[in-house]
Amino acid sequence: MSKEAEMTDPTQLSQHIEALLLASDEPLSMKKLRGLLGEDISSADIRATISELESHYQNRGIRINTVAGGWQFRTAPEHAELIQQLWQVRTPRLSRSALETLAIIAYRQPATRGEIEALRGVKVSSNIIASLQERGWIKVLGRKEVPGRPHLYGTGRQFLIDFELNSLSDLPDSAQLMDEDEIQQIVAENQAELSESQDNAPPHQDDNSEQDPIYDNEQTSLQTETGNPEIIQADIGPAEQAS
Amino acid sequence: MSKEAEMTDPTQLSQHIEALLLASDEPLSMKKLRGLLGEDISSADIRATISELESHYQNRGIRINTVAGGWQFRTAPEHAELIQQLWQVRTPRLSRSALETLAIIAYRQPATRGEIEALRGVKVSSNIIASLQERGWIKVLGRKEVPGRPHLYGTGRQFLIDFELNSLSDLPDSAQLMDEDEIQQIVAENQAELSESQDNAPPHQDDNSEQDPIYDNEQTSLQTETGNPEIIQADIGPAEQAS
Amino acid sequence: MNQATEAAPAREAPLTDTQSVMTEDAQSDSRLPPVRLDSFEGPLDVLLHLIRSQKLEIFDIPIAMITEQYLAILEAEAELDLDLAGDYLVMASTLMQLKSRMLLPRLEVDEEGNEIDPRAELAAQLIAYEQYRMLAEELGERSRLGRDVFTRPIFPEADEVERPLPAPDLDAMLVAFRKVLKRVGGEVRHHIFSDTMSVREQMGVILERLANGGMQLEELLLDQPGREPLVITVLAILELWRQQTVTVVQSEPYGSITLLPASPNNEYAELNT
């Protein structure tokens, strides 16, 4: 109390931002903040003030989080269990199929249901699509102009808001995700090498000299794969840096 | 900022209270707080912590206010004007009842209020109808020649403009909103129910005493449809029967 | 709440509660312990489990062995859920086909003349799926609003403010409609009508055109470009007639047909104000 009183009061700007962030029912973007605070306050000032506020709140029960291109007051994650008690209903757990479907849509968008099914190797139930839609995590972006004109799904803004992402590029590991062509290339190269080493016939080996270092790294890692699926991903990182 | 860093971190209790006050949908009373925080924390501790928090926030943009016998985070009163601006700028979301009403009108037009109520299972407030009309999203197309001659609502031009639709046929298939399996299941369930209580007309259905046979016919024809949006084919069946 | 459970070892985390049959031991045991099919997310998941748990090479899958193990898992299932069975059985036949192709000399070659391993496609599929399986796990472990973090649920400051009209939101509307469909259950059959949307739209158009009084049928049909709109217009008129929203008058056989709105004009005009 006494210490607090000695402190310099938060600036007017800081107070305004705090009040706005609390009062808003969605994350407030820089653009919205500028519009509300008046044009004579620069983005730089706002940014600096927010970063002060962020550190002010960093050890408190509530935080200022960066979400969906804006800022919002949220509770600190370590109090989740306590807060859950406020409600009778417990948050239902997401099934693996829902998460896999969501992950494929998030990383591959726009994606059709057929594409999701092809990747997962199983039928995707409409219940899953519908419940993801109801949560606002996915939405129909349009239709794919192929026979049947299937819906194209992508993530909605609520996905960013709920998963604490500032933008889609904040999706973890999105840069490392391999597309089909890359995967096929890796498979082809690895299988070619395997069959060569099996036959003890090294005539094509010189071809490897022009191979992308990424694949060599991956090959090594994949061959020593220990059942941990993280390894594929984990190894691409360094390889990418190398390239 | 540097002064902040020197300060001792807020206690665990203080963090818990902050988090709870932010996340609760009503002001939290001492009794509720004790229930949530566990019996081993005394009222005196809670009271002392809250009073610390109150002074911590007293010069900030947000406050801990005593409201209706409990505590709650609120914006500081001197920022009221700014907050008002936020709410005025910030377009609110459509209420669920408005969305449902609009959706039913869009998909079932021309539809009477009674039909909407029968579908929604609740009364449709005149305010909702009025505000949708005001918006130009719905309009009265005429009256239905049944007792009471209720208004027939349909979507207006502004609906297409605002929802970025070229025509009503751009609305996603309602069938695609649900799974075929889901529909079959529901239909099966309800047919079972219907056959049990065929003569028991639900009380709020007097308005649409004549459940349009066209829909029943459509059901037959559309269920044999294979998702092919061939409009004419789908329609000729029932209409021919109707004529 | 779920923090504790969801923060559990990555391997377990994404399994739903009823499905947690695999244990850490199962992972390291090379003697394959029995597994239940419903703990998997499909045939690819089963194959990955077999491959990873036995530390097999994904680029050099011992097809004969894997096929045997895969079929054993399938056979252990007392009764296969028919819905699920399809995907699993397709994989079974794929595996058996691969097994037989592995016995034959390689006939297929790529553009560079290298032999194509018949297992290439499967390996690619497995790698692609494994990536998403892992990303799904990560997504599930991310702190999530409403489960791990919470924001303010009510906004008392907003109460006294006069707020503008809400913005259109097609998705929200569709979601709302879907909820209605689900809620009303049996009424749903009345709603599989979106294919008839054009007729409904046309019904609205006709009602509007008739707002100022009667119209000749030919007049209504005159400006319909093409066969399809024509048919739709006729269907719409028939439907309106059947609903008794319009009256159709023909004074003599083969004479001109007049459409009249069922409600008087002046009243209709009132309605729009």
C226-264 pLDDT per residue, tens: 666 677 777 788 788 877 788 777 666 666 677 787 754
Number of folded domains that form chain A? 2
* Type of residue at C33: P
Q: A203 with A102, same domain?
A: yes
Mean pLDDT across A43-49 = 95
Residue A155 lies in a domain: yes
Length of chain B: 243
Q: B122 with B202, same domain?
A: yes
Mean pLDDT across C63-82 = 85
Mean pLDDT across C183-211 = 63
Q: Which residue has the tokens 């008392």?
A: C156
Residue A130 lies in a domain: yes
pLDDT band at A90 (very low <50, low <70, confident <90, very high): low
Cβ of A120 within 8 Å of Cβ of C44? The answer is yes
Mean pLDDT across C7-21 = 36
Q: Are B62 and A22 in contact (CB under 8 A)?
A: yes
Cβ of A163 within 8 Å of Cβ of C86? The answer is no
Question: Dihedral through CA A140, CA A146, CA A148, CA A150, nearest 10?
Answer: -20
CA distance A229 to A16: 47
Q: B62 with B31, same domain?
A: yes
Residue B91 lies in a domain: no
Of the two residues A118 and C105, the one the predictor is more confident about is: A118
A150 touches chain B (CB under 8 A): no
State the average pLDDT for chain A. Answer: 78
Q: Across chain B, which distance is largest between two alpha carbons, in Å?
A: 85
Q: Which residue has the tokens 């029932």?
A: B238
pLDDT reported for residue A199: 54
pLDDT reported for residue A242: 38
CA distance C146 to C151: 8
Cβ of C180 within 8 Å of Cβ of B104? The answer is yes
pLDDT under 50: residue ranges of chain B:
1-7, 193-243
A73 touches chain C (CB under 8 A): yes
CA distance A145 to A155: 20
Q: Are B61 and A17 in contact (CB under 8 A)?
A: yes
A124, pLDDT greater than 50: yes
Report if pTM > 0.95.
no
DSSP C194: G
C-contacting residues in B 135-194 (Cβ below 8 Å)? 135, 137, 139-145, 149, 151-152, 154-155, 162-165, 167-169, 171-178, 182-183, 186-187, 189-191, 193-194
A226 touches chain C (CB under 8 A): yes
Q: Are C124 and A184 in contact (CB under 8 A)?
A: yes
C120-141 helix and A113-120 helix, angle to the nearest 10 degrees = 110
pLDDT reported for residue B97: 77
Which of residues B75, B110, B138 is at a domain's end? B75
CA distance A53 to A64: 7
Please report, in angstroms and rounded to a whole number, the separation of the first and last CA atoms in chain A: 55
pLDDT reported for residue B107: 85
Q: Are C101 and C120 in contact (CB under 8 A)?
A: no
CA atoms B34, B37, B38, B39: torsion sign: negative
pLDDT reported for residue B219: 28
Which residues fall within 8 angstroms of residue A175, CB to CB, at 6 or more apart?
A: A240
Q: B34 with B142, same domain?
A: no
DSSP B120: H
Q: Tens digits of per-residue pLDDT, A62-87?
A: 999 999 999 999 999 999 999 988 87
> Checking phi first, is residue C20 left (phi over 0); if not, alpha (psi -120 to 50) or beta?
beta
CA distance C165 to B28: 32
Residue A10 lies in a domain: yes
Which chains are within 8 Å of A by 3+ CB pairs?
A: B, C
Mean pLDDT across A135-145 = 90
CA distance C65 to A63: 54
CA atoms A131, A134, A138, A139: torsion sign: positive
Cβ of B119 within 8 Å of Cβ of C187? The answer is yes
Q: A69 with A113, same domain?
A: no
Q: Per mean pLDDT, which range of A8-12, A14-18, A63-67, C23-27 is the poorest?
A: C23-27
C188, pLDDT greater than 60: no
Which residues fall within 8 angstroms of residue C161, CB to CB, at 6 or more apart?
A: B83, B84, B87, B88
Quote the radius of gyration of chain A (alpha carbons, Å). 25
Question: Alpha helix locations (H) across chain C?
Answer: 2-6, 24-28, 43-53, 63-76, 82-103, 120-141, 170-184, 197-209, 217-222, 227-242, 265-271
Q: What is the ipTM of this complex?
A: 0.60
Which residues fall within 8 angstroms of residue B161, CB to CB, at 6 or more apart?
A: none
Q: Tens digits of per-residue pLDDT, C148-178?
A: 888 887 777 766 555 555 666 676 777 777 7
Q: Which residue has the tokens 């998909």?
A: B107
CB-CB neighbors (< 8 A) of A148 in chain B:
227
pLDDT band at A127 (very low <50, low <70, confident <90, very high): confident
Residue A125 lies in a domain: yes
Nearest to A208 by CA among A188, A225, A182, A236: A188
Out of A84, A191, A227, whose CB is closest to C53? A227
- Count the Cβ atoms, other than its own, within 10 Å of residue B54: 15
CATH number at residue B59: 1.10.10.10
Nearest to C145 by CA among A65, A228, B212, B21: A65
C145 touches chain B (CB under 8 A): no
pLDDT reported for residue C205: 83
CB-CB neighbors (< 8 A) of B144 in chain C:
243, 245
CA distance B133 to C145: 35
Phi/psi at B75 (5° precision) = -75, 150
Q: A24 with A70, same domain?
A: yes
Which of residues B75, B109, B128 is at a domain's end? B75
Cβ of B109 within 8 Å of Cβ of C272? The answer is no
Q: Check whether the bond before A110 is cis (ω within 30° of 0).
A: yes
CA distance B141 to B153: 6
Which of residues A75, A106, A135 is at a domain's end? A75
Q: B45 with B135, same domain?
A: no
pLDDT reported for residue C237: 81
Q: Are B21 and B64 in contact (CB under 8 A)?
A: yes
- The residues pairing with A66 across neighbouring beta strands, listed in sequence order, are A71
Residue B58 lies in a domain: yes
Of the two residues B210 and A140, the one the predictor is more confident about is: A140
Question: Six-digit token pair at C154?
Answer: 């009510």
Question: Dihedral through CA A31, CA A32, CA A36, CA A38, nearest 10?
Answer: 0
Q: A212 with A101, same domain?
A: yes
Give residue A166's domain range.
96-242
pLDDT reported for residue C231: 72
The CA-CA-CA angle for residues A55, A169, A222, to 5°, reads: 110
DSSP B67: E
Cβ of C135 within 8 Å of Cβ of A161? The answer is no
Of A9-18, A138-147, B13-22, which has the strongest mean pLDDT? B13-22
Task: Find the helix or strand (DSSP H, E) in which A154 lies.
Answer: strand A151-155
Residue B200 lies in a domain: yes
CA distance A221 to A186: 12
Q: Tens digits of per-residue pLDDT, B176-199?
A: 665 555 555 555 555 554 444 444
Q: A102 with A71, same domain?
A: no
Q: B44 with B101, same domain?
A: no
Q: How many Cα atoms occupy the beta-carbon half-sphere of A191 within 13 Å?
A: 25
Which residues fall within 8 angstroms of residue C131, CB to CB, at 6 or more apart?
A: A177, A178, A229, A232, A233
Q: What is the DSSP string of B128-142?
A: HHHHHHHTTSEEEEE
Q: Are B75 and C158 in contact (CB under 8 A)?
A: no
> What is the distance in angstroms between the Cα of C102 and the nearest Cα belonging to chain B?
39
Q: A148 with A68, same domain?
A: no
pLDDT reported for residue C167: 65
- DSSP-based three-state secondary structure for B181: helix
> What is the distance in angstroms between the Cα of C44 and the nearest Cα belonging to chain A?
6
pLDDT band at A154 (very low <50, low <70, confident <90, very high): very high
B142-163: buried (b, 16+ CB within 10 Å) or exposed (e) per residue? bbbebeeebbbbbbbeebbebb
Q: Per mean pLDDT, which range of A31-45, A92-106, B136-150, C79-93 is the poorest?
A: C79-93
CB-CB neighbors (< 8 A) of B14 in chain A:
60-61
Residue A151 lies in a domain: yes
Q: Tens digits of per-residue pLDDT, A201-233?
A: 444 444 433 333 333 333 333 333 333 433 333
Q: B125 with B204, same domain?
A: yes
Q: Which residue has the tokens 């449709």?
A: B124
